[in-house]
Amino acid sequence: MQIGVLKEPEGEARVAIVPGSIKKLAKAGFSVVVEAGAGLAAQHTDAEYEAAGASIAPRATVATSAVLVGVRFPDDLGFAEGQIVVCVADPFREPARVRRCLADKATLLSMDMIPRRLSRAQSMDVNSSQDNLAGYKAVLLGASLTPKAIPMMTTSAGTVRPAKVVVMGSGVAGLQAIATAKRMGAVVYASDVRRSAAEQIASVGGRFIEVEGMDDFEDASGYAKPLTPEFIDTVNRTVCEVARDADIVITTARIFGRPAPVTVPASAVAGFKRGAVVVDMNADVGGNCEATVPGQIVVTDNGVTVVGTVNLPGTLSTTASMLYSNNLTTFLTSLVKDGGIVLAEDDDILVGAPEGNPLHVPGMGGVWICRAGEVHPRQTRLGGVL
Q: Which of 65, 83, 128, 221 is catalytic?
A: 128
Q: Is 176 a catalytic residue?
A: no
Helices 126-145 & 317-334, crossing angle to 10 degrees?
170
Q: Which of 104, 125, 131, 192 is catalytic?
A: 125
Q: Which of 31, 122, 123, 334 is catalytic?
A: 122
Q: Is 237 a catalytic residue?
A: no
Q: Is 128 a catalytic residue?
A: yes
Q: Which of 72, 116, 117, 378 is catalytic?
A: 116
Q: Is 125 a catalytic residue?
A: yes
Q: Which of 223, 254, 284, 371 is catalytic?
A: 223
Residues catalogued as catalytic: 116, 122, 125, 128, 223
